[in-house]
């Protein structure tokens, strides 16, 4: 619990709280966790995350970890990746998972939707060219299925292809045979996932309780 | 409307018939001396006078004609009642608008009222079947088994805390609140009910706290309100039955005690937990045993479903034996075994299980509602304005308060809190139903004011079911409750749902926060590593994405199959016409559509069904919606598809996919996916094969010399499909082909194009099985250009869609486009 001494003061917390919307308690807890992960350093590296035992069984571990080092998830116009992140960036990425407020206007809801979907989109779009190409999509599906045993890569490919065809047929409607669907843009991404109610699903309930001791 | 009036007539006739029949039986019921004390008991076996009632009166000659009604009386009457109730249900559904606006329970009660009125007018006693034992041993288990079995598992576990919170604490809140305040009301002298003591009030309050919102759930289903609200109402109604029955037994016991000491209260609380948790424990044990048993039933498919029922019932009975919560036991048993059992049993057994569970549950409930109507008229009432009005009022108030307070407490713990609209609907949806009635009706006679309780409960049920039940649909639509779109059946959505889940559980691990995703993750690991290995015969974990992909793929294949086989069927019988009028005329799509519908029916009746990954929400009165997923016999399907693919299917598909994704030539999407679900057809193999090999004399006969054997083979195979249930399609075709030529021309064109493109099919042997997929594809790759070179006239859009599909345009993206984009 040496982490306690190095916690920032109230003022810094207020700053972070305004920026990310977390409460002070939540920031405190997350900060502890951050320290725990980074072994009391001020920055967090990929290796720190790669060694979390709870995470080791997650099929899309690499994508999740990458998302934390992706500049696009820090602010609007970021690009590229970083080697290490500070606590502030850690919090900003976390804030994508904050549950929405109880009463939202339709506009707010739409903004949150876009934000959360953008996060997912960025997970797919590794080369940051604004489209999810078939290769990228295949990669994600392969990773997703990599834990389900006997299914080969071929199956994953087939599924990704079918999914891509589906996107093409939904977003482009009727296509001429010589047309080429080069990849999923964010607009198409919004369109195909418009039914998924992401604002109610992609949430984490950030507790006000300290559970860091329990986590490995 | 002819059907409707007929049905009404039938119902009326049956009602009258029943009443007439029950006339003589009334006189017989007098014969056995009614056992004193107990409410009503199944009329016992006949008295000692011997089995015959009639022959004694006559001389001792051998009777030529005898009638022994008493011997069959009980099952006979029960059968008639069930039949009557079932007819009533048919009647409602003939005219849909009624059940849209008025919940079915209202209609059932109304019919019951009418029957009761008739019986009352002829001074007939209601059948004496509903006793405590009958209700708890025979009527209740099917109802709760049904709810437990069809509980939507995923949302339930996501909201399990809230569900239990409302079910347990909410019911306690209601019982205690209503009980206490009713006791206070009883102290008012003007109402003349001072003799009802606290215990009896509490007992009564426990009874009327059991909400049973069947009607609300079906409305929720129709307007697809948000998942959270739905599952909370569903789970609440299920688990508060359990709580209510525990409370009921407890208070029933307490009500007969002269004095209640403080220690009894503590014992009561302790007992409450023992009963509840004990029930769960038994349920889980029996659930696992049942799953384990079904691992070995592959050779006794006929009795497979039986295990499910016997084990759940056994769980129920054993729990009764130890007087712990039997409802909890049967519900947890159903929840536990469902997942494993449905993996283990054959598809048919699975369907059977679902049907029977649904049927038994529906019948029980129908009977109770029906009976409620009858009893309302025929029983003696004790009307007390003050007591009844205050009960109605207090029940409403406490329910409303309870929802408000309990949501305030639970909201901080929920990821998605309930807003005010949700709370309102939650409170307003607290209808009372079958359970309350049955409980109050089976109260022991030692309760002094039993009649008053019965009357009040009936009023309560009538009030909530009729007024709240009817008004809730307009209300939901008026205040615009948040809704959830539940038709998410695209691969992308599925992939992303999983992606989100994994991401969330990953990020939770990362930031050290736990929620149900964490536990879900852990449970899945445990499940895959240990439970599945023990409980499931063929333990290949299957990703839900793969399951959905298979389903969609087969759906598409089905459609194409439908289209093609319909056309071929039609075509085969019109080939002579085709020769005369070759290459002329326009396609008539009307017939194709009609024919397709037929084919559709036939296919869906006879083919293998892809297992659904999740159950849809169900109302209490309908099976989960399977109509969307087409049933397909996988072996047949693959063989047919293979035979179709090389020419007509694969060609454009490849061309397209080449363009899009640069797939290597000769490989198509579906070849990547060898069907793996053959295990279910294991038992059906012989039937399947015999059907496939079925020599179709008709098609052979109809083949003109021009059609090559190559073209004939697929025809023959497809024709077998129609042979199975009836040959009506083909007959229809023949008949029409004689009458009109116009569509025949169209069909003939279709036939020509399809058979032409099928020429290069190298192998047709269906017994080759799916493992020759790669080689078949290879061949197809070689032959494809040949097929493409066939001069194709502008293709009529012969992939005419069956009417029912038009809402699901987004659902079959896989193979659909190539049919349409085909160019000359």
Q: Can you tell me the mean pLDDT for B96-103?
A: 77
- Rounded to 5 degrees, what are φ and ψ at B631? -90, 135
- Please give the C-alpha separations between residue B768 and each of B553, B636, B641, B772, B775, in angstroms, as whole numbers: 21, 11, 13, 7, 11
pLDDT tens digits along B289-311: 998 888 888 787 788 888 889 99
Which residues of A fall within a CB distance of 8 Å from B492? 163, 166-167, 192-193
- Rounded to 5 degrees, what are φ and ψ at B622? -145, 150
- Closest to B651 in 3D by CA, of B561, B781, B540, B538: B781
Residue B585 falls in which region: left (phi positive, over 0), alpha (psi -120 to 50) or beta = left
Q: What is the pLDDT of residue B487?
A: 56
Strand partners, A131: A185
Chain A (159-198) residues lying within 8 Å, Cβ to Cβ, of chain B: 159, 161-170, 174-181, 192-193, 195-198
In three-state secondary structure terms, B298 is coil
Strand partners, A81: A70
Chain B (180-209) residues lying within 8 Å, Cβ to Cβ, of chain A: none
User: Looking at chain B, which residue has its C-alpha nearest residue A205?
Assistant: B415
Tell me the whole-structure pTM to 2 decimals. Answer: 0.60
- Closest to B380 in 3D by CA, of B446, B444, B453: B453
Q: Which contacts qualify for B521-525: CB closer than 8 Å, 24 or more apart?
A: B521/A57, B521/A58, B525/A57
- Taken in order B787, B793, B794, B797, the sign of the CA dihedral is negative
Q: Is the pLDDT of residue B214 over 80?
A: no
Selection from A96-110, B23-37, B435-449, B545-559 with the highest mean pLDDT: B435-449
CA neighbours within 13 Å on the CB side: how many for B330? 29
Following DSSP, what letter does each residue of B601-654 receive, concatenated? HHHHHHS-BPPPSSPPP--TTS----SSSPB--HHHHHHHHHHHIIIIIHHHHH
Which residues, 6+ apart, have CB-to-CB distance to B751 below 8 Å? B567, B568, B570, B571, B572, B574, B575, B578
Q: Please give the Cα distance from A131 to A7 (Å, whole number).
A: 40
Which residues, 6+ apart, have CB-to-CB distance to A130 below 8 Å? A185, A186
Q: Can you tell me the mean pLDDT for B611-620?
A: 40
Q: Please give the Cα distance from B13 to B677 (Å, whole number).
A: 50
Record: contact B661-A134, CB cut-off 8 A: yes
- Rounded to 5 degrees, what are φ and ψ at B114? -65, -50
Cα–chain-centroid distance for residue B389? 37
Check residues B471 and B701 and name the one with the higher pLDDT: B471
Q: What is the pLDDT of residue B788?
A: 40
- Closest to A184 in 3D by CA, of A193, A176, A197: A193
Q: Can you tell me the mean pLDDT for B24-38?
A: 38
Q: What is the pLDDT of residue B765?
A: 42
- Closest to B287 in 3D by CA, of B531, B637, B91, B52: B531
Share of chain B above pLDDT 90, in %: 5
Residue B630 falls in which region: left (phi positive, over 0), alpha (psi -120 to 50) or beta = beta
Q: Please give the Cα distance from A60 to B248 (Å, whole number).
A: 51
Question: Mean pLDDT for chain A?
Answer: 73
Smallest Cβ–Cβ distance between B495 and the set A55, A99, A144 belongs to: A144
- Closest to A142 in 3D by CA, of A165, A122, A120, A159: A159
Q: Please give the Cα distance from B506 to B510 (Å, whole number).
A: 6
Q: What is the pLDDT of residue B333?
A: 92
Following DSSP, what letter does each residue of B390-419 receive, concatenated? HHHHHHHHHHHHHHHHHHHHHGGG-SS---
Smallest Cβ–Cβ distance between A212 and the set B492, B512, B549 belongs to: B512
DSSP state of A3: G
Report ipTM (2 d.p.): 0.84
Report the run of H or E that residue B149 belongs to, with start and end.
helix B140-149
Q: What is the pLDDT of residue A41?
A: 78
User: Looking at chain A, which residue has its C-alpha nearest residue B814?
Assistant: A162
pLDDT band for position A103 (50/70/90)? low
Q: Exposure of B3 by Cβ count < 10 A (0-12 exposed, 13-18 middle, 19+ buried)?
A: exposed
Q: What is the pLDDT of residue A140?
A: 79
pLDDT tens digits along B541-553: 555 566 666 666 6
Chain A (34-93) residues lying within 8 Å, Cβ to Cβ, of chain B: 36-37, 49, 52, 54-55, 57-61, 63-64, 67-68
């Amino acid at each position: 619990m040496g982490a306690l001494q190095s916690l920032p003061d109230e003022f810094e917390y207020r700053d972070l709280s305004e920026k990310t919307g977390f409460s002070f308690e939540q920031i405190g807890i997350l900060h502890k966790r951050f320290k725990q992960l980074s072994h009391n350093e001020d920055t967090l590296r990929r290796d720190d995350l790669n060694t979390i035992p709870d995470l080791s069984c997650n099929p899309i571990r690499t994508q999740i970890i990458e998302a934390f080092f992706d500049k696009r998830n820090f602010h609007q116009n970021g690009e590229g990746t970083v080697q290490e992140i500070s606590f502030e960036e850690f919090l900003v990425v976390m804030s994508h998972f904050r549950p929405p407020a109880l009463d939202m206007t339709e506009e707010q809801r739409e903004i949150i939707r876009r934000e959360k979907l953008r996060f997912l989109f960025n997970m797919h779009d590794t080369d940051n060219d604004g489209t999810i190409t078939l290769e990228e999509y295949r990669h994600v599906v392969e990773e997703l299925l990599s834990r389900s045993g006997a299914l080969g890569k071929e199956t994953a490919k087939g599924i990704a292809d079918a999914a891509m065809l589906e996107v093409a047929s939904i977003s482009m409607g009727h296509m001429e045979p010589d047309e080429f669907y080069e990849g999923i843009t964010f607009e198409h991404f919004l369109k195909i996932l418009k039914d998924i109610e992401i604002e109610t699903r992609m949430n984490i309930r950030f507790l006000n309780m300290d559970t860091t001791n329990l986590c490995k | 409307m002819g059907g409707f009036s007929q049905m009404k007539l039938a119902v009326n006739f049956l009602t009258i018939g029943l009443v007439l029949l029950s006339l003589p039986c009334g006189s017989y019921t007098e014969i056995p001396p009614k056992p004193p004390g107990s409410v009503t008991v199944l009329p016992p076996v006949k008295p000692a006078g011997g089995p015959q009632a009639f022959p004694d009166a006559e001389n001792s000659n051998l009777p030529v004609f005898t009638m022994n009604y008493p011997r069959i009386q009980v099952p006979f009457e029960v059968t008639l009642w069930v039949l009557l109730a079932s007819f009533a249900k048919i009647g409602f559904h003939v005219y849909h608008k009624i059940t849209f606006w008025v919940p079915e329970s209202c209609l059932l009660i109304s019919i019951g009222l009418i029957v009761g009125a008739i019986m009352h007018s002829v001074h007939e006693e209601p059948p004496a079947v509903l006793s405590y034992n009958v209700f708890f041993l025979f009527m209740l288990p099917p109802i709760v088994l049904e709810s437990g079995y069809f509980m939507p598992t995923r949302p339930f576990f996501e909201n399990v805390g809230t569900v239990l919170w409302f079910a347990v604490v909410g019911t306690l809140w209601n019982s205690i609140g209503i009980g206490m305040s009713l006791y206070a009301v009883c102290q008012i002298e003007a109402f003349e009910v001072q003799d009802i003591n606290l215990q009896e009030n509490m007992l009564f309050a426990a009874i009327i706290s059991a909400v049973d919102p069947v009607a609300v759930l079906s409305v929720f289903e129709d307007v697809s309100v948000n998942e959270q609200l739905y599952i909370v109402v569903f789970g609440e109604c299920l688990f508060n039955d359990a709580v209510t029955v525990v409370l009921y037994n407890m208070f029933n016991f307490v009500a007969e005690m002269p004095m209640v000491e403080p220690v009894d209260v503590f014992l009561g609380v302790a007992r409450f937990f023992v009963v509840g948790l004990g029930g769960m424990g038994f349920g889980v044990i029996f659930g696992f045993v049942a799953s384990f048993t079904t691992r070995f039933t592959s050779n006794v498919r006929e009795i497979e479903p039986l295990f499910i029922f016997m084990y759940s019932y056994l769980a129920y009975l054993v729990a009764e034996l130890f007087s712990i919560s039997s409802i909890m036991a049967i519900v947890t048993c159903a929840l536990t075994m469902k997942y494993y059992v449905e993996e283990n049993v054959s598809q048919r057994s699975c369907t059977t299980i679902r049907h029977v569970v649904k049927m038994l549950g529906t019948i029980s409930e129908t009977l109770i509602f029906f009976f409620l109507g009858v009893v309302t008229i025929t029983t003696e009432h004790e009307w007390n304005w003050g007591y009844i009005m205050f009960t109605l009022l207090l029940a409403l108030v406490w329910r409303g308060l309870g929802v408000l307070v309990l949501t305030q407490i639970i909201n901080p713990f929920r990821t998605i809190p309930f807003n005010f609209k949700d709370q309102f609907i939650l409170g307003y949806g607290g209808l009372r139903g079958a359970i309350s009635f049955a409980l109050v009706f089976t109260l022991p006679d030692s309760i002094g004011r039993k009649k008053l309780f019965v009357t009040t409960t009936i009023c309560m049920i009538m009030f909530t079911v009729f007024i709240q039940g009817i008004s809730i649909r307009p209300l939901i639509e008026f205040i615009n409750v948040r809704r959830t779109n539940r038709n998410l059946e695209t691969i992308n959505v599925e992939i992303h749902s999983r992606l989100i889940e994994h991401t969330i559980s990953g990020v939770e691990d990362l930031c050290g926060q736990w929620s149900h995703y964490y536990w879900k993750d852990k449970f899945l690991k445990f499940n895959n590593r240990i439970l599945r290995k023990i409980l499931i015969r063929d333990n290949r974990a299957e990703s839900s994405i793969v399951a959905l992909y298979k389903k969609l793929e087969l759906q598409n294949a089905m459609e194409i199959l439908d289209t093609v086989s319909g056309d071929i069927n039609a075509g085969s019988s019109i080939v002579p016409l085709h020769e005369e009028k070759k290459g002329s005329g326009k396609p008539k799509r009307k017939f194709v559509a009609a024919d397709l519908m037929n084919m559709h029916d036939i296919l869906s009746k006879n083919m293998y069904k892809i297992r659904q990954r999740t159950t849809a929400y169900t109302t209490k009165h309908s099976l989960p919606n399977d109509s969307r997923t087409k049933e397909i016999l996988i072996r047949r399907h693959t063989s047919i598809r293979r035979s179709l693919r090389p020419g007509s299917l694969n060609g454009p598909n490849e061309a397209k996919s080449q363009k899009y994704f640069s797939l290597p030539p000769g490989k198509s999407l579906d070849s990547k996916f060898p069907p793996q679900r053959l295990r279910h057809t294991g038992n059906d193999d012989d039937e399947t094969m015999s059907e496939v090999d079925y020599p179709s004399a008709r098609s052979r006969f109809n083949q003109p010399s021009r059609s090559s054997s190559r073209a004939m083979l697929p025809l023959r195979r497809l024709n077998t499909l129609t042979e199975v249930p009836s040959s009506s399609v083909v007959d229809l075709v023949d008949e029409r082909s004689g009458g009109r030529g116009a569509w025949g021309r169209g069909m003939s064109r279709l036939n020509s194009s399809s058979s032409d493109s099928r020429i290069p099919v190298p192998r047709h042997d269906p017994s080759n099985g799916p493992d020759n997929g790669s080689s078949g594809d290879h061949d197809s790759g070689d032959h494809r250009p040949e097929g493409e070179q066939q001069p194709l006239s502008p293709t009529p859009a012969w992939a005419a869609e069956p009417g029912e599909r038009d809402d699901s345009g987004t659902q079959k993206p896989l193979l659909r486009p190539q049919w349409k984009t085909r160019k000359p």
